[in-house]
Amino acid sequence: MATTVTASPQTQHTGKRLGDYEIVRELGHGGMGQVYLVRNVISDRVEAMKVLLPDLAQQGELAARFMREIKVLASLEHPNIAQLRTAFTAENQLVMIMEYVEGETLSRRLEHGAFSVPDTVNYVAQVLTALSYAHGKGIIHRDIKPANMMLTTQGVVKLMDFGIARSSSDIGMTVTGTTMGSLDYMSPEQVKAERTDARSDLYSVGVSLYEMVTGHRMFSATSSYSVMEAHVKEIPRAPIEVQPGMPKPLSDIIMMAVAKDPAQRFQTADALRNALSQVAGAPMLPPMEARSAPTPMPPAPVAHPTAPTTLPRVAPTPTPVPAPYTTTPPQPARGGRHIGWIVVAAIVVLVAVFGGTQVYRSSHKNAAVETATPTPPASTAPQPPAATTPSEAPAAAAPATPEPQPAPRGHSAGGNAQAEPAPPPGPTPEEIAAQKKLMDDMENEMDHLDSRAAAIESSLDAMEQQMHQSGLGLRGDIVEARSTMRNDLAKAKQALEGADTDRARKYMDQAQHQVSKLEDYLGRR
């Protein structure tokens, strides 16, 4: 026969049954009820049971809240949210049967110190995935904190406890002037008992992020009132000041997430998750090292490939063996790591090879003509002085004979021409022209993109001034899009200056996406 579960000590419940569930042990308890590890006697499946305390069952508001939690969970089915299996009443008690999540809360893990940056981003990204799903269904959690994030043995984070969650269909759920949530993680609007939305959950995520990556609470106040006042009025220390080894972009993301004004925060869980994905693999470096400037590019060895100048020509030299035929490959300029300079250098070398081939052929022809020219008869050559001996005559006559030249490669010492080696392949005039046209087209596209971005900046500045007069600010996702647009445009310009067309195309496409997003936003205003 079923036995009613009461708030008496745990030992009195072990082995007892409630409906088809046998209690194995107590998992935890709170102000509203108790949670047990139970076994379904029919299926043998181990699950969690949450029971509303008997003495609270008669209190209308608490019973109604318990019922709301059941209905909220029944509408959610997501791998990062603990699942509701079923719910029923047994002997005038409300009972929820939940998925049993084996693992430990992130709050418990924080007792051993701060998490690494990759672990922090991984855990919070999973929570944000769950929130994005819940927010899409109009459900606000309102009690986000590490204690409600369960890490399974497989590394999956499950968001727990929707006990005070609010659905968009709930009207008047929160009584005016009533504060709900956990004080250390409450948003300013929760503290002031104002209406909350998805951005309130994101504030609590930001506070949790702060604690995970620094190992410290965002506010170290000693009383409930001082904590609440800090959430409303006090600007927290930047996380990087507490944990100097963390990446600065992560610190900036956290500070944006915990902005006092909801309009200045990230506006969606997806926006915050996308921002975090940019620092998922960031190394734990000192702030200045993490922000070091890129390696400066070396001086350009030739004119800019897009400038209206002709490509450099290799002037003929009296040396028959041109430098391009050496077997040692050209070495890159010291510090020239940028792929754009490698492309430019390769083009210059190929053009030099082409010019060198012409020098070689000219020298070859001249040498052949000189070899074919008959030697003047001895009678026409200047005579040595009479006083010279026969042994001295050849030396004295030497000036009349052309100075022998070193035989070019492909010629024998006697001046007989050998088979001419095939010149190395070089860019055709068509290929050189195509490369130049590509650069010209991309620069024109970049100019057009710059003009659109300038118009957006002007419109956003005007809108921001108007909003500030009313104490408001731009939406967080719009602020983020503008910042991303600026960064992508700067990187695209840098790539074009280095003639790196592939990299330039990548960042121009990314900038184009942000420009279109901002133009759509301004068009809807």
Cα separation, 347 vs 427, in Å, equals 8
User: Is the pLDDT assigned to residue 408 strictly greater than 90?
Assistant: no
Q: Are 37 and 53 in contact (CB under 8 A)?
A: no
Q: What CATH code would you report for 12-98?
A: 3.30.200.20
Q: How far apart are CA 133 and CA 127, in angstroms?
A: 10
pLDDT band at 258 (very low <50, low <70, confident <90, very high): very high
Reported residue count of the chain is: 525
Residue 343: is its pLDDT beyond 80? no
17 - beta bridge partners?
22
Q: Determine the average pLDDT of the residues in 167-176.
A: 44
- Residue 271's pLDDT is 95
What is the pLDDT, as a whole number, of residue 523?
67
d(CA 78, CA 134): 9
| pLDDT single digits (tens) 62-85 | 777 778 888 888 888 999 999 999
Question: Phi and psi (nearest 5°) for 325?
Answer: -90, 0
Distances (CA, A) of 264 to 161, 255, 514: 28, 10, 19
Sheet of strand 157-159, all strands in order from the earlier edge strand to the far edge: 103-105, 149-152, 157-159
Question: What does the block give as tokens for 144?
Answer: 């986000």
pLDDT at 390: 43
pLDDT confidence of residue 280 = 54
- Residue 197's pLDDT is 92
CA geometry: angle 353, 355, 356, nearest 5 deg: 60
Would you place residue 342 in the very low, low, confident or very high pLDDT band (cuts 50, 70, 90)? low
pLDDT average, residue stretch 10-24: 77
Give the rounded percent of residues in the chain with a pLDDT score beyond 90.
Answer: 33
Residue 187 pairs in a beta bridge with: none
Contact 50, 59 (CB under 8 A): no
**Comparing 12-98 with 103-290, is the CATH topology the same?**
no
Q: How confident is residue 56, by pLDDT bands cut at 50, 70 and 90?
A: low
Token look-up 């104490």 returns: 471
46 phi/psi in degrees, rounded to 5? -90, 130
Average pLDDT of the residues in 145-156:
94
What pLDDT is attached to residue 419? 56
Residues 6+ apart with CB under 8 A from 354: 423, 426, 427
Q: Where are the domains of the chain?
A: 12-98, 103-290, 295-325+339-359+425-525
Distance, CA of 215 to CA of 111 (rounded, Å): 8
- Average pLDDT on 436-453 reads 86
**pLDDT tens sequence across 134-148:** 999 999 998 999 999
Rounded Cα gap, residues 69 and 52, in angstroms: 12
Contact 138, 168 (CB under 8 A): yes
Q: Answer for the pair 71, 45: CB distance below 8 angstroms, yes or no.
A: no
Q: Which two tokens stand for residue 421?
A: 């080696």
Catalytic positions: 143
Q: What is the pLDDT of residue 420?
A: 60
Other CB atoms within 10 A of residue 176 CB: 8
Q: Per residue in 359-383, pLDDT tens?
A: 445 444 444 444 444 444 444 444 4
From residue 76, how far is each of 23, 50, 136, 284 by CA, in Å?
A: 26, 17, 11, 37
Average pLDDT of the chain?
74
> 197-228 pLDDT, tens per residue?
999 999 999 999 999 999 999 998 778 888 89
- Domain 103-290 of CATH type 1.10.510.10: yes
Over residues 416-426, the pLDDT tens digits come to 445 566 666 77
pLDDT band at 232 (very low <50, low <70, confident <90, very high): very high
Q: For residue 225, what pLDDT is reported?
A: 87
Burial letters for 110-131: b for 16+ Cβ neighbours within 10 Å, e otherwise?
beeebbebebbbebbbbbbbbb
Most confident among 66-75, 233-242, 271-280, 395-404 (mean pLDDT): 233-242
pLDDT at 392: 44
Single pTM value for the model: 0.51
Residue 329: pLDDT over 50: no
Q: Which of 42 and 305 is assigned the larger pLDDT?
A: 42
CA atoms of 40 and 375, how far apart (whole Å) = 115
pLDDT-based confidence at residue 451 (cuts at 50, 70, 90): confident
| Residue 29 vs residue 432, higher pLDDT | 432
pLDDT at 400: 47
Predicted confidence band of residue 332 (pLDDT cuts 50, 70, 90): very low
Confidence class for position 110, pLDDT limits 50, 70, 90: very high
User: What is the phi/psi pair of residue 140, to 5°?
Assistant: -105, 130
Q: What's the confidence (pLDDT) of residue 243? A: 93
Residues facing 352 on adjacent strands: none
User: Is the dihedral angle over the CA atoms 248, 249, 250, 251 positive or is it negative?
Assistant: positive
Give the mean model confidence (pLDDT) for residues 244-259: 95
Question: Which residues is 286 bridged to in the sheet?
Answer: none
Whether pLDDT at 318 is above 80: no
Question: Which residues touch 301 (CB under 8 Å, ≥6 apart)?
Answer: 333, 341, 344, 345, 348
